[in-house]
Amino acid sequence: MRAVEDVSFAIAAGETLALVGESGSGKSTVGRAVLRLEEPTAGRVRFEGTDLATLTPRALREARRRMQIVFQDPFASLNPRRTIGASVAEGLEIHGIVPREEIGDRVSHLLEEVGLDASFASRYPHEFSGGQRQRIGIARALAVAPTFIVCDEPVSALDVSVQAQVLNLLLDLRTQRGLAYLFIAHDLALVHQIADRVAVMYLGTIVEIGPARAVIGAPSHPYTRALVSAVPEPDPTKAKTRIVLEGDPPSPSALPIGCPFVTRCFHPAKDARCSTERPHLRPVGDQQVACHCAAPGDGAAST
Amino acid sequence: MTTQTKFGLGLLALLTLLAVVGPLVAADPNAQRDLLNGTLQPPSLAHLLGTDEFSRDVFSRLASGARISLGVAVVAVAVAAFLGMVIGLAAGASDGGLSGLLRRCIDIGLAVPRIVVLLVLLSAIGTVPMWLFALVLGATGWPAMARLIRGETLRLRHAQFVAAARALGAPEVRILWREILPGALPPVLVAATLGVADAMLLEAGLSFLGLGAPPPAASWGGMLLESRSVMAVAPWLVLAPGLALVAATSAATLLGDALRRRLQPDAK
């Protein structure tokens, strides 16, 4: 069984690519494979020009100074037996970034940078709320001064009011530190705020990728159109057609031969080719779309 | 510090006092005072805890037995916990062949009754000095510990905070030591405190079979077993070592619990 297949994208320095899709679409697997926290059976990840798969364990550890991850679950991502200070100091110690006697100072700085009190360093994770823990996780990632961070649904486990605060923190850090993000999410409204480009995943493949404005403003792939139509519209006077998909996604162990979306597709031009031939990404409008039928302007009607 | 912890520390202090100072101030534990009239005397001012069926002073024997019983139990549990920790961590953290091999070793260790292994080993060695006895006891006690640590290691190695440490570039040994071991320890501490009681009772049984502390040396387990036949007429002979064993195991349990709470700041 393949969780993820045929996924290819590039992220420029300082750029944010959002990876969107429903649960089980393989977004997190991609995020972890990018950092080689999970070994892909095939495929390559190049970071700053080097293929990560060719690195020795030592060189890979060195490369990890520059790419970090912020996890979804703020309760599982901090070791309950270690103080906040110890967790944040971990990267500093591993890479010997600052002399031992300056670690405490640096940890205080990092905690303040993510909006926490420096005195929290001696406390344990269970004393903090989800939002605070997520900030701690961010401070831990920032400790090694990375240029690229995989944000694996960093706010989806948080209360809505806290989501905005953590999202703003990520935006501020991006400006201050020139960070590039791979922002994994299932909420398009959120993605709209943070992403330069958006990639939409369905059942382990990218079905649409392009500038955020194009993908969210004029979605082309039927699946993206359905996703975009589900975003709540704050303006009640605005007309809005909601596309409701029928059925469930097929089991990843028994994928359709042709287009993975064929079982739920509502495109009027759907034909036999869709169930026999797998579509590959091709330019449609400003974005790349993996659909035989999609045409520029398809999505205009749905938004 | 909770009341329980204080109580445990108090018990430990009393037992240590008994083991360290007791034998220095008490009479010769092996002196048979008056085999005609002095046997099975109830507690009195002359003999605080009475005398046994050979007219030996029970308090003296209790004090000298404290050294053997407590010493053997602590050393045995420390050895078992150390071996179990190393083997269990290795079994849980390794992959493939090594992991399978270690798992089989643990299973075999658990499957063979400890008492049988001890009987064979101890009778093969012959006369056993007490330190070797404690080592042998510990060397047969590791599989239960190893199984616990292995299970915890397997659970924790997939934890998200381990992935976070790996993403930070932590070498595997550091991950085992800093991230996994602290989480795997609490259940081991519980097992170790129970192991102290277990080791004392094993030592008692083996002493009874002539494989532990050889007579006339006193150990609490040995005293308990010797006094079995006269329990109805001289209950103090059972009560003295029995209560001492209860005190020792209580102290171990209470302090183990305190330590566990300390290592597990989120559990209340």
C-alpha to C-alpha distance for B90 and B214, rounded to whole angstroms: 38
What does the mean pLDDT of chain B come to? 82
Give residues 123 to 142 of B whose Cβ lies within 8 Å of A: none
> Quick one: pLDDT at residue B38?
65
- Sort out which chain B residues have CB atoms less than 8 A from A95's CB and list them: 169
Q: Which residue of A has its CA nearest to B180?
A: A79
Q: What count of residues does chain B have? A: 268
DSSP state of A302: G
C-alpha to C-alpha distance for A255 and B33, rounded to whole angstroms: 90
A146 to chain B, minimum CA–CA distance in Å?
10
Burial (CB < 10 A; 0-12, 13-18, 19+), residue B108, is exposed
Identify the structural domains of chain A with CATH numbers, from first to last: 16-195 (3.40.50.300), 200-302 (no CATH)
**Measured between CB atoms, does B166 come within 8 Å of chain A?**
yes
Q: What pairs with residue A69 in β-bridges? A: A150
Of the candidate ranges A151-165, B8-22, B44-58, B236-250, the one whose mean pLDDT is the lowest: B44-58
For the segment B89-97, the average pLDDT, to the nearest whole number, is 85
Q: Is it the case that residue A172 has pLDDT exceeding 80?
A: yes
Of B171, B178, B183, the CB nearest to A61: B171
C-alpha to C-alpha distance for A53 and A231, rounded to whole angstroms: 38
Identify the structural domains of chain B with CATH numbers, from first to last: 3-35+44-263 (1.10.3720.10)
- Sort out which chain A residues have CB atoms less than 8 A from B184's CB and list them: none
Q: How many helices (H) and strands (E) does chain A have?
A: 10, 10
For the segment B151-156, the average pLDDT, to the nearest whole number, is 90
DSSP state of A161: H
A191 to chain B, minimum CA–CA distance in Å?
24
Q: What's the pLDDT tens digit per position in A126-147?
A: 999 999 999 999 999 999 999 9
Q: What's the pLDDT tens digit per position in A242-252?
A: 888 887 888 87
Q: Is it the case that residue B116 has pLDDT exceeding 70?
A: yes
Of B163, B170, B266, the CB nearest to A37: B163
Select the residue from A36, A55, A79 to test the B interface by mutation, using most B Cβ atoms within 10 A.
A79
Of the candidate ranges A130-144, A265-279, B19-33, B244-258, the one whose mean pLDDT is the lowest: B19-33
Q: What's the pLDDT tens digit per position in A219-234?
A: 999 999 988 888 877 7
DSSP state of A45: -
**Between residues A88 and B48, the one the model is more confident about:** A88
* Alpha helices, H only, chain B: 3-20, 22-25, 58-93, 96-111, 114-125, 130-139, 142-157, 160-167, 172-174, 181-208, 220-226, 236-263
Q: Are residues A44 and A244 in contact, defined by beta-carbon separation less than 8 angstroms?
A: no
Would the CB atoms of B164 and A71 count as touching at under 8 Å?
A: yes
> Quick one: pLDDT at residue A301?
47
Of A82, A95, A140, the CB nearest to B169: A95
Of the candidate ranges A22-31, A90-99, A112-121, A144-153, the one whose mean pLDDT is the lowest: A22-31
Of the candidate ranges A164-173, A207-216, B202-211, the one whose mean pLDDT is the lowest: B202-211
Tokens of A301: 């009607």
> Quick one: pLDDT at residue A233?
76
C-alpha to C-alpha distance for A252 and A25, rounded to whole angstroms: 9
CA B246-B188-B70 angle, to 5 degrees, is: 35
Would the CB atoms of B163 and A95 count as touching at under 8 Å?
A: no
Instruction: Give the 3-state secondary structure of residue A274.
Output: helix
Q: Are strands A50-51 and A46-47 parallel, antiparallel or unpaired?
A: antiparallel
- Sort out which chain B residues have CB atoms less than 8 A from A47's CB and list them: none
- For residue A110, name the pLDDT band (cuts at 50, 70, 90): very high
Non-local (6+) Cβ contacts of B207 within 8 A are B213, B219, B221, B222, B225
Q: What's the pLDDT tens digit per position in A194-222?
A: 899 999 999 888 999 999 999 988 899 99
Would the CB atoms of B163 and A87 count as touching at under 8 Å?
A: no
Nearest to A137 by CA among A65, A92, A84: A84
Most trustworthy range by pLDDT among B32-41, B43-52, B182-191: B182-191
C-alpha to C-alpha distance for A146 and A292, rounded to whole angstroms: 40
B166 to chain A, minimum CA–CA distance in Å?
7
Of A68, A76, A126, the CB nearest to B159: A76
> Quick one: pLDDT at residue A303?
42
CA A192-A195-A198 angle, to 5 degrees, is: 90
Q: Are residues A18 and A183 in contact, defined by beta-carbon separation less than 8 angstroms?
A: yes
Non-local (6+) Cβ contacts of B130 within 8 A are B68, B71, B72, B213
Q: Is it the case that residue B240 has pLDDT exceeding 50?
A: yes
- Sort out which chain B residues have CB atoms less than 8 A from A80's CB and list them: 183, 264-266
Select the residue from A35, A77, A81 to test the B interface by mutation, using most B Cβ atoms within 10 A.
A81
What does the mean pLDDT of chain A come to? 87
Would the CB atoms of A81 and B182 count as touching at under 8 Å?
A: yes
Would the CB atoms of B168 and A90 count as touching at under 8 Å?
A: yes
ipTM: 0.83
Of A62, A64, A124, the CB nearest to B265: A124
**Measured between CB atoms, does B161 come within 8 Å of chain A?**
yes
- The dihedrals phi and psi of A225, each to the nearest 5 degrees, come to -60, -40
Would the CB atoms of A64 and B265 count as touching at under 8 Å?
A: no
Would the CB atoms of A94 and B161 count as touching at under 8 Å?
A: no
> Quick one: pLDDT at residue A300?
55
> Quick one: pLDDT at residue B35?
66
Taking one residue from A and the other from B, the number of pairs with CB-CB distance under 8 angstroms is 76
> Quick one: pLDDT at residue B34?
67
Of B160, B170, B183, the CB nearest to A90: B170
Tokens of B6: 């204080």
Element (H, E) at A149: strand A148-152
A247 to chain B, minimum CA–CA distance in Å?
33
